Amino acid sequence: MSITRWRMDEDMTPEKFVKQTATTIRTLLFDHKLTIERIKGIGIGAVGPLDRDAGIILNPLYFPAKGWTNVLICKLIQEQNGITAKLDNGANTALLGEHWAMRKSQLQQMLYVHVGVSLRSSMMSYGQIVRGSVDREGSIGQMIIQTDGPRLHDHGNYGALEAYVSVQAIERLAQSEAKLGRSGLISRSPVKPEDIKYDLLLSELTLEKPVALELFLKSARHLGIGLTNLINIFHPECIILGRTLINAHESFYRTAIKVAIGNTYYYPEYMPLFSKGILREDAVATGAALMMWKGLNV
């Protein structure tokens, strides 16, 4: 087994990504003594919105690099490598991967929530991904939890969940607090409010700084409210929470769960299982491979 990770920064354009993918595939084939004919397909789990059937990444909001609008990613991968590619949302493939990893539990109703730069989700019913008439994995971020609340970056709904629970929301809150003169935000040398970014806040959180912990836990409580809404609608057996904010601090994860359980209808008669998953960072890739494998005639 081999794993290669790339940083999707401002330099990772579609062209550069496809070339790096091709180079990595050639290296993996050589390392594992495989020929291209042995590879039946490539599964891709990507940030939406997508045209899944056409293999197109449409217009992801928070990609730092330019050029990721209406990208025929499957076509590009196939032309570069000579291997058939299949596309789905990363949240969907992550849920497929975790469902497979937890197969001994025979779970049928599952919910996956990605909590990072953006919010994304996927649902599974009777072992199958639930799909709507449009492919919008990020719609969870537009769930309104406060009708007179703010918007994130002046788009989307007012009072939407993503305005309270996302890397960008925490950055914005910290910057706002700093502008109002809040002390104790950053323990290092003076930092301009606009220069307070997530990595800096995370380092303060790791040091158990009270003000940083307060910011993250405020976000966690809002996440708990959003989870409650999803749970009360769908009633899953298992909720998997993953990515950046969930892994930032154990108290973030625990606080979100506590709020969600405290507002769940039918509790304690109905008590869903919460998990960070088994595959975690490898869930998207594993699920993408499973998606491709299930579509093969073998």
Q: How far apart are CA 8 and CA 2, in angstroms?
A: 19
> Residue 70, CB half-sphere, CA atoms under 13 Å: how many?
0
> How confident is residue 134, by pLDDT bands cut at 50, 70 and 90?
confident
Structural domain span for residue 173: 105-276
Q: Are residues 144 and 210 in the same domain?
A: yes
> How confident is residue 298, by pLDDT bands cut at 50, 70 and 90?
very low
pLDDT at site 265:
92
> How confident is residue 3, by pLDDT bands cut at 50, 70 and 90?
confident
Q: Are residues 195 and 272 in the same domain?
A: yes
- Burial degree of 200 (CB within 10 A; 0-12, 13-18, 19+): middle
* Beta bridge pairs of residue 87: 44
Per-residue burial over 2-12, b = 16 or more CB atoms within 10 Å of its CB, e = otherwise: eeeeeeeeeeb
pLDDT at site 227:
97
169 lies in some domain: yes
pLDDT at site 6:
86
Q: Are residues 258 and 289 in the same domain?
A: no
pLDDT at site 135:
67
Range with the poorest average pLDDT among 9-13, 90-94, 187-191, 287-291: 187-191
**Using an 8 Å Cβ cutoff, are 216 and 252 in contact?**
yes
| DSSP element (H, E) containing 293 | helix 283-294
6 lies in some domain: no
**Using an 8 Å Cβ cutoff, are 275 and 238 in contact?**
yes
Here the CATH number for the domain that contains residue 289 is 3.30.420.40
* Beta bridge pairs of residue 144: 160
Q: Are residues 133 and 75 in the same domain?
A: no
Please check the confidence at residue 149 and state whether its pLDDT lies above 70.
yes
pLDDT at site 136:
66
Q: Are residues 53 and 192 in the same domain?
A: no
- Burial degree of 110 (CB within 10 A; 0-12, 13-18, 19+): buried
Range with the poorest average pLDDT among 34-48, 90-104, 221-235: 34-48
Average pLDDT on 58-64 reads 86
Q: Are residues 154 and 78 in the same domain?
A: no
Q: Which has the closest alpha carbon to 91: 273, 230, 215?
A: 230
Q: Are residues 41 and 140 in the same domain?
A: no
Two tokens, residue 258: 């506590």
pLDDT at site 61:
81
Give me the chain's average pLDDT, please.
Answer: 92
